[in-house]
Amino acid sequence: MKLTLTDLHQKISDCSWDAQQLADALSAIGHETEVVNDQTVDITLTTNRADCKELDTLLFDLAGVSNLTFTGTKPDTTAAKTVTITIDEVNKILGTQLEADALNWLTRLGFTVKSSGVGVPAYRTDIAGVSDIAEEVARLYGFNNIKPVELSHETAPASDSYYKTLSVKKALAEAGLTETLTYTFTSEQNSWQLDKPHNNDEPYLRSSLLYGLLKTMAKNPYIKRGGFFEVGQVFLNQELEYVGVVIFGYKDAGREMLLQKAEQAIQSTEKIEIIQIDQAVLDKYDVKQSHVYFFETATKSSTQSTEPFALNYDLHPIKPISKFPPTVRDFTVPGITAEKAGEITKLAIKQFPELLIAELVDSYTNPQTNELSVTFRFIFQKMETSFTDEEINAFSQRLAGFLKPYGAGTIQ
């Protein structure tokens, strides 16, 4: 419904609001509003106040809450029922310390207030009991005038399943894997099927985390080797929380080491079966990487810690992502100290605006010389176009030049 300032000023005589102030006042009491122009506000009434479809009723309510003078035609304020209530009950719900006469504010909305309780006007069919009256008092007092009060501090009970799952996630990330979250819906057949799917090609609930992990790989064809994991619900003969791991691009020893780390992170009591994904499946999901290995297991089978802890991850503004494909280059720096390796990624991100991600992907200590070699991965992008080959080479040389002082040998 539309409300003009002319209507407003006609029916609330002492109101001098402009359209924005009118919209804000209506919004404060639960209606959705949009300023159409400097004279008109469009209103979508809050679900439980159908009575306000009558313009006079809406303005009567608005005038009452705002303590202004209503001069239009009042709705039927005959008391239709009585709610027995005291100001103590109102204060208990609101957490306020209002005096008894606060109940008298209700008369501005057509309620009658007696020592025996509050008479509810006939037009307010939404008022049923004590909590509804408390809400009316809060509207009249102003929600923003309620002084916040801190909850009491208490000892938190154990939250075993939450912390077990979080421990699994943290350990997998520490093993070098990246957490992804993917959609529950799939084209892979399952007895759990949606009646009306969002996408007709994906009417089933997933029976495995594999499909989403393969889609994640397909989304990132430029990551030639690495690992992703997901923790989420799968729908087999029952709904269960699973953890799934996919590792790709590594050959033999490297793969075995990463799979072992992932298994150790999960600490499952169940035997974990690692499968290599067939090329036909990879093709179906448009996965470009090779040597793809996968396993999954129920998180309830994990013996990971259930002790509470806090993650040491920070949330920060993300660097914008270009719609053009990124370029990825790995650099191995020999003779570097572990301390320096940790600093490099942060310094590189600060120094090169083109860098989206700078991270450590591998390290090797020569057993004879005890010399550390570290491989960094740099992902860089341009927002307005793709890099040319010449630009990639030039940027790679700049990165190599940046890394050179940190190592003791030839950068590869």
Partner 1 sequence: MTGHLHPTTILIDKIVQYFRPYGFEVYTGPEVVSTFDSFDALNIPADHPARAGFDTFYLKDKPDSILRPHTTAAHLQEVLNRKPPYRLLVPGRNFRNESTDATHNHTFYQIDALAIDTKTNLANLIESLEGLFRTIISQELDFRIRGSFFPFTEPSIELDIRRNGTHWLEMLGSGMVNPSVISAFGLDPEVYQGYAFGLGIERVLAIKCEMNDIRGLLSGDYRLLGQFTAETK
Query: What is the footprint of partner 1 within residues 102-141 (CB under 8 A)?
Result: 129-132, 134-135, 138-139
The pair of structure tokens assigned to 95 is 């957490």
Q: Which is nearer to partner 1, 138 or 298 (CB)?
A: 138
Between 290 and 319, how does the x/- string for binding to partner 1 read (CB under 8 A)? ------------------x-xxxxxxxxxx
Question: Which of positions 15-34 make contact with partner 1 (CB under 8 A)?
Answer: 27-30
Q: Closer to partner 1 at the Cβ: 9 or 360? A: 360
* Cα–Cα nearest to 230, from 289, 299, 309, 284: 299
- Binding string, residues 338-377; x marks residues near partner 1 by CB under 8 A: ----x--x----------xx-xxxxx--------------
Question: Which one, 21 or 71, has the nearer CB to partner 1?
Answer: 21
In eight-state DSSP terms, residue 269 is S
Please report how many Cα atoms fall inside a 13 Å half-sphere around the Cα of residue 29, on the Cβ side.
24
Handedness of CA 155, 156, 157, 163 (dihedral sign): negative
Whichever of 280 and 315 has its CB closer to partner 1, that residue is 315
Question: Minimum CB separation from partner 1 for residue 93, in Å?
Answer: 6
Q: List the interface residues with partner 1, window 229-288 (CB under 8 A).
A: 232-233, 235, 239, 241
Per CB under 8 A, 63 contacts partner 1: no
Backbone angles phi, psi at 214, to 5 degrees: -65, -40
Window 383-402: residues binding partner 1 (CB under 8 A): none
SS3 344: helix
Judged by beta carbon, residue 33 or residue 77, the one nearer partner 1 is 33
Closest contact distance (angstroms) between CB of 152 and partner 1 is: 7
Identify the CA nearest to 29 among candidates 4, 53, 65. 65
d(CA 220, CA 394): 24
- Of 344, 342, 338, the closest CA to residue 404 belongs to 344
CA dist 90 and 390 (Å) reads 73
Region of 68-76, 191-199, 330-338, 388-396 interacting with partner 1 (CB under 8 A)? 191-199
- Per CB under 8 A, the list member of 21, 39, 40, 46 interacting with partner 1 is 46
As a dihedral over the C-alpha atoms of residue 183, residue 189, residue 193, residue 195, rounded to 10 degrees, the angle is: 100
Residue 132 C-beta: closest distance to partner 1, Å: 6
* Euclidean distance between CA atoms 338 and 344, whole angstroms: 10
Of the candidate spans 4-12, 74-82, 228-236, 288-296, the one that interacts with partner 1 by CB under 8 A turns out to be: 228-236
Distance between CA atoms of residues 105 and 2, nearest Å? 28
Specify the 3-state DSSP secondary structure of 214.
Answer: helix
CA distance 51 to 58: 8
Task: Give the residue with the Cβ less far from partner 1, 9 or 236.
Answer: 236
Task: Restricting to residues 85-104, name those near partner 1 by CB under 8 A.
Answer: 92-96
Using alpha carbons, select from 192, 307, 313, 178 the residue that is nearest to residue 248.
178
- State which of residues 66, 186, 207, 216 lies at the interface with partner 1 (CB under 8 A): 216
At 292, the amino acid letter reads V
**Number of residues binding to partner 1, judged by CB under 8 A:** 102
Contact stretch for partner 1 (CB under 8 A) within 66-74, 99-107, 196-204, 393-401: 196-204
Site pattern 137..176 for partner 1 (x: CB under 8 A): -xx---xx-xxxxxxxxxxxxxx-xx--xx--xx-xxxxx
Report the nearest approach of partner 1 to the CB of residue 248 (Å): 12
Measured between alpha carbons, how far is 314 from 332 in angstroms, rounded to an integer? 28
